[in-house]
């Protein structure tokens, strides 16, 4: 006959414990009783999980979770696993009300998110005009894609280069849908666009950036005449972008201008936001 749940403190077997049907049947009966108890158990603050329960009490997810807390309380000796289980597991200190529910913010304080896009950006194309406007007519420029390797690190880029004596231009246009966990742009460098130019003079070459929100007719933010003979970043602040929501569509037009074979290049684009 099973001794669990009436006497859950079963005697430990030794080398001298007799091997006979009675002992084996007792072990099997106790295992079966424990299993039945776990199926029917719910958090009703019994002394230990083996205390009898009414059949069928474990009828929904809430009861099942409470049963798990009940069992944990018996293992740990802490009744507060099922009494007011509203604390954070991360800061569980065995005081009343600690343990049980696990708030997401208890798993870490950072809600910063970063998305990187590398050429050729998904959702991008080449165009000779800014958001469907009339082309400048100075579009005699070659657009290339290539890889710049420095210290064994490869950087993908778009390049605009023209042999004309006057500035020629072309655009890389990108549409990007904000993710469902988007909360707000970071205050600084919400958008970063990597770039490099073949000359330090904006009259020879430069990179312009124009940011739009789909459905809005006005430019939201812009940065023009950017030059740097080393790889650098164009930064767009969160304050200049304003308020956005998940699934809003971002439209970015990056203008590459060049003359006299001075190139303008752009690399990765980073979106920095808080969830």
In this structure, the number of other CB atoms found within 10 A of the CB of residue 218 comes to: 6
CA nearest neighbour of 80 among 106, 45, 114: 45
CB neighbour list of residue 212: distance below 8 Å, 6 or more residues apart: 131, 218, 219, 220, 250, 251, 252, 253
Output the pLDDT for position 91: 42
Concatenated DSSP letters for 47-64?
Answer: SSTTS---TT---SHHHH
Mean predicted confidence (pLDDT) in 199-206:
98
CA angle 94, 97, 103 (to 5 degrees): 100
**What percent of the chain lies above the pLDDT cut of 90?**
59
Residue 109, classified by CB atoms within 10 Å of its CB into exposed (0-12), middle (13-18) or buried (19+), is exposed
Residue with tokens 């099942």: 64
- The answer to which of 66-70, 149-153, 169-173, 235-239 has the lowest mean pLDDT is 66-70
Please check whether residue 178 is in contact with residue 250, taking contact to mean a CB–CB distance below 8 angstroms: yes
pLDDT digits (tens, 9 = 90+) for 78-123: 544 444 444 434 344 445 444 444 444 545 556 899 999 999 999 9
Residue 9 has pLDDT above 50, yes or no: yes
- The answer to which of 85-99, 148-162, 180-194 has the lowest mean pLDDT is 85-99
d(CA 257, CA 22): 91
Encoding tokens for residue 120? Answer: 């050729």
Please check whether residue 264 is in contact with residue 256, taking contact to mean a CB–CB distance below 8 angstroms: yes
CATH of 113-274, one of 1.10.3720.10, 2.60.120.260, 3.30.479.10, 3.40.367.20: 2.60.120.260
Q: Where are the domains of the chain?
A: 21-104, 113-274
Residue 192 pairs with which residues in a beta bridge?
Answer: 235, 270
Residue with tokens 């460098």: 189
Q: If residue 204 lies in a helix (H) or strand (E), which one and from where to where?
A: none
Instruction: Provide the pLDDT confidence category of residue 142 given band limits of 50, 70 and 90.
Output: very high
Output the pLDDT for position 20: 81
Output the pLDDT for position 273: 97
Please check whether residue 177 is in contact with residue 248, taking contact to mean a CB–CB distance below 8 angstroms: yes
């Amino acid at each position: 006959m099973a001794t669990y749940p009436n006497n859950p403190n079963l005697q430990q077997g030794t080398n001298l414990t007799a091997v006979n049907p009675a002992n084996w049947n007792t072990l099997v009966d106790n295992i079966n009783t424990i299993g039945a108890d776990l199926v029917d158990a719910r958090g009703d603050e019994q002394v230990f999980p083996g205390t009898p329960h009414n059949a069928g009490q474990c009828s929904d997810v809430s009861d099942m979770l409470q049963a798990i807390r009940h069992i944990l309380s018996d293992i740990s000796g802490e009744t507060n696993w099922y009494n007011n289980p509203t604390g954070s597991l991360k800061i569980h200190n065995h005081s009343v009300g600690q343990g049980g529910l696990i708030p997401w913010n208890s798993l870490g304080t950072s809600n910063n998110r970063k998305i990187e896009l590398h050429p050729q950006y998904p959702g991008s194309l080449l165009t000779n005009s800014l958001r469907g406007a009339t082309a400048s007519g100075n579009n005699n420029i070659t657009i290339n894609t290539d890889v710049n390797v420095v210290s064994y690190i490869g950087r993908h880029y778009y390049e605009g280069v023209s042999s004309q004596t006057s500035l020629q231009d072309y655009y890389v246009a990108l549409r990007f849908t904000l993710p469902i966990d988007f909360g707000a742009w970071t205050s600084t460098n919400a958008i970063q666009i990597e770039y490099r130019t073949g000359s330090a003079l904006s009259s020879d070459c430069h990179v312009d950036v124009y940011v739009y929100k789909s459905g809005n007719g006005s430019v939201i933010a812009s940065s023009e005449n950017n030059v740097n003979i080393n790889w650098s970043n164009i930064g767009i602040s969160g304050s200049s972008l304003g308020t956005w929501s998940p699934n809003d569509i971002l439209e970015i037009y990056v203008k590459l201008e060049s003359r006299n074979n001075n190139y303008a290049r752009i690399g990765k684009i980073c979106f920095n936001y808080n969830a």
